[in-house]
């Protein structure tokens, strides 16, 4: 178990599917993340009502997309909608180790046990367990903690990790998605609802 500090700044938005594709397209043109951010703001690409909201969203989306490899970004632009959803979910997990750990330790373990209903108490138990080791979690207000859970579940629904009824949805891998994840680090396959048998079969 690592005690590195969790970043818990995912209280705004969700997967940002459409916005992320727009930003990725712009980065594909500029080749520079600072220029991309500047143009997102100058063009009001995210269609926000206030400058502060635009800056917050642009920072959030860019900080996620920057963590994808070049090949992953290219697949994000050219892949199927489901591949795009999975890649944006991978970006979220790369950005937030708390979400990555929740996915691996709780969601994937439930999936492997064929216990497919993800419940609020699963999150609460995980949060309490991590709070014993992470002071930054203990310091969060109850309202913030509830908001984090709400946004996380929303993001998972938008990525089709879970259904609207909070049932875990088995991941449908593709050859291209497997290729760009394995080239980065095969361990990223573990943040998708997949069995070890499925992962080994695709990596063989």
Q: For the residues 13-24, what does the mean pLDDT come to?
A: 95
27 and 110 part of one domain: no
Alpha-carbon torsion 185, 188, 194, 195, what sign?
positive
Residue appearing with tokens 């992962």 = 199
- Considering the chain, what is the average pLDDT of its residues? 94
C-alpha to C-alpha distance for 153 and 111, rounded to whole angstroms: 16
Query: Is 56 inside any structural domain?
Result: yes
59 and 102 part of one domain: no
Of 38-52, 145-159, 185-199, the least confident: 38-52
Residue 53: per-residue pLDDT: 85
Query: Is 31 inside any structural domain?
Result: yes
Query: Is 75 inside any structural domain?
Result: no
108 and 45 part of one domain: no
C-alpha to C-alpha distance for 10 and 137, rounded to whole angstroms: 13
103 and 182 part of one domain: yes
Could you give the percent of the chain with pLDDT greater than 70? 99
Domain housing 161: 89-203
Residue 3: per-residue pLDDT: 64
Query: Is 54 inside any structural domain?
Result: yes
Domain count across the chain? 2
Residue partners of 138: CB distance under 8 A and separation at least 6: 131
62 and 150 part of one domain: no
Query: Is 138 inside any structural domain?
Result: yes
Q: Count the neighbouring beta carbons within 10 Å of the beta carbon of residue 168.
A: 19
Residue 119 has pLDDT above 80, yes or no: yes
Residue 32 has pLDDT above 70, yes or no: yes
47 and 133 part of one domain: no
- What pTM does this model have? 0.95
Q: For the residues 194-202, what does the mean pLDDT come to?
A: 91
59 and 97 part of one domain: no
62 and 93 part of one domain: no
pLDDT band at 1 (very low <50, low <70, confident <90, very high): very low
Residue 138: per-residue pLDDT: 92
Query: Is 193 inside any structural domain?
Result: yes
pLDDT band at 142 (very low <50, low <70, confident <90, very high): very high
49 and 116 part of one domain: no
Residue 56 token pair = 């917050």
Q: For the residues 115-119, what does the mean pLDDT come to?
A: 98
Q: For the residues 64-87, what does the mean pLDDT come to?
A: 98
Residue partners of 36: CB distance under 8 A and separation at least 6: 23, 26, 27, 30, 62
Nearest residue to 23 (alpha-carbon basis) of 34, 12, 13: 34
Q: Count the neighbouring beta carbons within 10 Å of the beta carbon of residue 114.
A: 7
Query: Is 58 inside any structural domain?
Result: yes
40 and 114 part of one domain: no
117 and 169 part of one domain: yes
Q: Each residue of 143-152: pLDDT tens digit?
A: 999 999 999 9
For the CA atoms of 198, 68, 30, 15, what is the dihedral angle to 10 degrees? 80
Query: Is 7 inside any structural domain?
Result: no
Q: Count the neighbouring beta carbons within 10 Å of the beta carbon of residue 105.
A: 14
95 and 62 part of one domain: no
């Amino acid at each position: 178990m690592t005690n590195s500090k969790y970043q818990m700044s995912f209280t705004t938005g969700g997967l940002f599917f459409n916005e992320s594709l727009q930003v990725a397209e712009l980065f594909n043109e500029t080749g520079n993340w600072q220029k991309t951010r500047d143009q997102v703001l100058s063009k009001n690409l995210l269609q926000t009502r206030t400058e502060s909201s635009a800056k917050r969203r642009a920072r959030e989306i860019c900080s996620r997309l920057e963590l994808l490899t070049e090949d992953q970004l290219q697949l994000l632009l050219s892949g199927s909608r489901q591949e795009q959803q999975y890649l944006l979910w991978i970006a979220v997990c790369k950005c937030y180790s708390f979400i990555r750990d929740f996915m691996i330790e709780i969601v994937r373990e439930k999936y492997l046990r064929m216990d497919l209903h993800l419940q609020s108490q699963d999150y609460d138990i995980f949060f309490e367990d991590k709070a014993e080791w992470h002071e930054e979690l203990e310091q969060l207000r109850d309202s913030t903690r509830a908001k984090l859970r709400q946004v996380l579940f929303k993001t998972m629904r938008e990525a089709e990790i879970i259904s609207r009824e909070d049932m875990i949805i088995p991941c449908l891998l593709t050859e291209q998605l497997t290729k760009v994840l394995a080239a980065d680090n095969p361990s990223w396959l573990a943040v998708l609802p997949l069995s070890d048998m499925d992962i080994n079969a695709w990596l063989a």
